[in-house]
A = this chain, B = another copy of it.
């Protein structure tokens, strides 16, 4: 791989840093490495780590561990690499790192660690820190509660603008999304409104927040699925959304940077799902055997479908014996059907994900895709039929048979490929699996069966 293609992947600057770090490490230039690490953004270091080998990672991490960015760095890195790195650290040291991390990142780290290691670390933590992290760990990581940060700016609605500004100025530690003030009501901190920092500046200091706040604040509950939270944040162009518990108490906020991660992760999972590889985004970082194990069950669908096809074709053995040329057309008939089915399924699965499907007109969607199948099936069927007619003198009707079969299998495939994801969604099953091996295999079987039946009819076998 030359530098120009590397640049495209990890950014020009990162390539330079990567090369420098590797060189310094070879020369064992610890002081220079420390300087380099301190100058580099933790997010860039996390990316660079993907391009180092295990020894390099260990060496450089020993240096990062001496800096105060180690917590940030660990929250940015891929989970598989993180687990590899922290293996060597003592629980005491981990306690000191976690103390410096954002609470939500610390909770994510705990979530990833083996339970015995996590418990060892918990013992060493201060009670208040432990409680805060434990509070977050109560929530399913796939919900708003699992995603939220408890460090946000909240003010009681009785407070005046002047006092609120003073409080903002006095926050010693970093707050997330320090542009919105969330306004609460009463001793149990119920969410009652929101105010931007700029709006705060527009009002005289004596005015009370409750008189100037925006009371129409959109909030999510701790149990809401993270995909739904992402949908709300991106639909309304929010920078953050407050999270409330079942008593309307404000317990955290979810910020847009976490939402971007959710969107990226969900897209990645959907891609892998569609290709029949499960959902594990870090499959590349897994050992060979685990990788094979994750993929094996998805191949089983194709295998079973293949067995069914063997039985079907075997049952037409007499016909095949008479017209041997039929065998040669099996791959093109299965292939064209599988291909157009994948197209239709993908369009529908995407349409469901982006909301572009008119749920009040599913019948017309199905009819439309069927017509697309008809058009494309006619075109490619005619093309193949003519070719077969010209290429095979005997039997004279072979062109008709294969042309009709392509036409029939493509029309059917487009319709089934549209229908299956809609049904799966209706059954509340993840529609993305429709684009994987299941539908293609089903189409293979339908296509091959139709083909031999058409042959039987027209070749009067």
A206 within 8 A of B: no
CA distance A351 to B277 in the complex (A): 13
A139 within 8 A of B: no
With beta carbons under 8 angstroms apart, the residue of B8, B256, B292, B332 that contacts A375 is: B292
CA distance A323 to B291 in the complex (A): 37
Contact yes or no, B51 A292, CB < 8 A: no
Contact yes or no, A332 B350, CB < 8 A: no
A327 within 8 A of B: yes
Contact yes or no, A372 B295, CB < 8 A: yes
Residues on B with beta carbons closer than 8 Å to the beta carbon of A350: 268, 271-272, 281
The answer to whether residues A331 and B306 also contact, given A198-B197, A272-B347, A275-B343 and a CB cut-off of 8 A, is: yes
CA distance A2 to B360 in the complex (A): 10
- Interface stretch, picked from A126-134, A187-195, A244-252, A313-321, is A313-321
A390 within 8 A of B: no
Contact yes or no, A309 B331, CB < 8 A: yes
Question: How many copies are assembled?
Answer: 2
A117 within 8 A of B: no
Contact yes or no, A328 B351, CB < 8 A: no
CA distance A233 to B41 in the complex (A): 13
Residues on B with beta carbons closer than 8 Å to the beta carbon of A47: 235, 355
CA distance A280 to B372 in the complex (A): 16
Contact yes or no, B263 A260, CB < 8 A: yes
CA distance A440 to B259 in the complex (A): 35
Residues on B with beta carbons closer than 8 Å to the beta carbon of A165: 201
CA distance A51 to B354 in the complex (A): 13
Closest CB of chain B to A159's CB: distance in Å? 16
The answer to whether residues A264 and B234 also contact, given A50-B355, A256-B256, A332-B306 and a CB cut-off of 8 A, is: yes
Residues on B with beta carbons closer than 8 Å to the beta carbon of A272: 346-347, 350
Which A281-335 residues sit within 8 Å CB-CB of chain B? 281-285, 288-289, 291-292, 295-296, 298-299, 302-303, 305-307, 309-311, 313-314, 317, 320-321, 324-335
A26 within 8 A of B: no
Residues on B with beta carbons closer than 8 Å to the beta carbon of A354: 264, 268, 281
Residues on B with beta carbons closer than 8 Å to the beta carbon of A282: 356
A78 within 8 A of B: yes
Contact yes or no, B306 A342, CB < 8 A: no
With beta carbons under 8 angstroms apart, the residue of B179, B331, B336 that contacts A334 is: B331
The answer to whether residues A335 and B306 also contact, given A346-B272, A346-B274 and a CB cut-off of 8 A, is: yes
Which A204-242 residues sit within 8 Å CB-CB of chain B? 231, 234-237, 239
CA distance A210 to B350 in the complex (A): 48
With beta carbons under 8 angstroms apart, the residue of B11, B236, B349 that contacts A41 is: B236
CA distance A435 to B245 in the complex (A): 44
For A353-380 the 0/1 string (1 means CB < 8 A from B) is 1111111111001001001100110011
For A164-198 the 0/1 string (1 means CB < 8 A from B) is 01001100000000110000000000000000111
- Give 9 CB contacts A-B under 8 Å: A9-B357, A239-B256, A256-B257, A256-B260, A264-B267, A268-B354, A271-B350, A291-B372, A326-B327
